[in-house]
């Protein structure tokens, strides 16, 4: 009995160890589709936000900031028609809440996720997805600072992926 218990503990322990993965923020060149790094013209699409009044600037705040930062990168030519783009950067902002059963409230357990899908403008296939979490804060000014930082990080992630060159055979 002791032997089977020891085997179970070893097997269970091995299953609980996370698999090795690349460091956060690093992208292997072979992973990024060539269409992403080759893109010159982008169309920015606002797929909506359900953040209501949690941040100043209204529900389109994240998209406006993202649009401004992408246009200011000087990496892409932002076009006003998706038919003229190489890729579409489709942004959405989602809120999820987890209820703390012990406290019976969900206010402190709100999660905001910014997601940008890089979509091939011709085939409509999603080529890449970028995602950032916005840490919540009690004070409005801190929530806004966290939102600004998350958008900046999302643009930095986009810049890193767009600068990745395909691996040479």
pLDDT digits (tens, 9 = 90+) for 69-116: 999 999 999 999 999 999 999 999 988 776 666 666 555 557 789 999
Distance CA 28, CA 72 (A): 26
Judge whether 54 lies within some domain: yes
Distance CA 77, CA 1 (A): 68
Please tell me whether the overall predicted TM-score, pTM, comes out greater than 0.85 for this model: no
CATH number at residue 93: 3.30.160.180
pLDDT-derived band of residue 140, with 50, 70 and 90 as boundaries? confident
Closest CA to 147 of 134, 158, 136, 160: 134
The whole-number pLDDT of residue 92 equals 92
Judge whether 76 lies within some domain: yes
Distance CA 78, CA 81 (A): 9
Judge whether 9 lies within some domain: no
Judge whether 5 lies within some domain: no
Q: Residue 76 belongs to what H/E stretch?
A: none
Judge whether 40 lies within some domain: yes
Judge whether 14 lies within some domain: no
Which range marks the domain in which residue 158 is found?
32-163
Judge whether 86 lies within some domain: yes
1 burial class (0-12, 13-18, 19+ CB within 10 angstroms)?
A: exposed
Total domains in the chain come to: 1
Write the CB contacts of 60 (distance below 8 Å, at least 6 apart in sequence): 46, 49
């Amino acid at each position: 009995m002791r032997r089977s218990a020891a085997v179970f503990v070893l097997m269970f322990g091995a299953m609980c160890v996370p698999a090795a993965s690349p460091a956060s923020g690093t992208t292997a060149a072979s992973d990024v589709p060539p269409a992403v790094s080759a893109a010159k013209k982008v169309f920015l699409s606002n797929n909506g936000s359900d953040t209501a009044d949690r941040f100043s600037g209204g529900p389109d705040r994240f998209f406006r900031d993202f649009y401004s930062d992408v246009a200011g990168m000087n990496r892409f030519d932002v076009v006003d028609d998706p038919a003229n783009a190489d890729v579409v950067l489709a942004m959405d902002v989602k809120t999820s809440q987890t209820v703390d059963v012990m406290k019976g409230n969900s206010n402190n357990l709100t999660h905001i996720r910014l997601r940008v899908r890089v979509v091939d403008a011709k085939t409509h296939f999603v080529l890449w997805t970028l995602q950032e979490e916005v840490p919540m804060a009690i004070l409005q000014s801190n929530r806004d600072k966290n939102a600004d930082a998350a958008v900046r990080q999302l643009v930095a992630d986009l810049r890193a992926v767009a600068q990745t060159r395909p691996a040479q055979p």
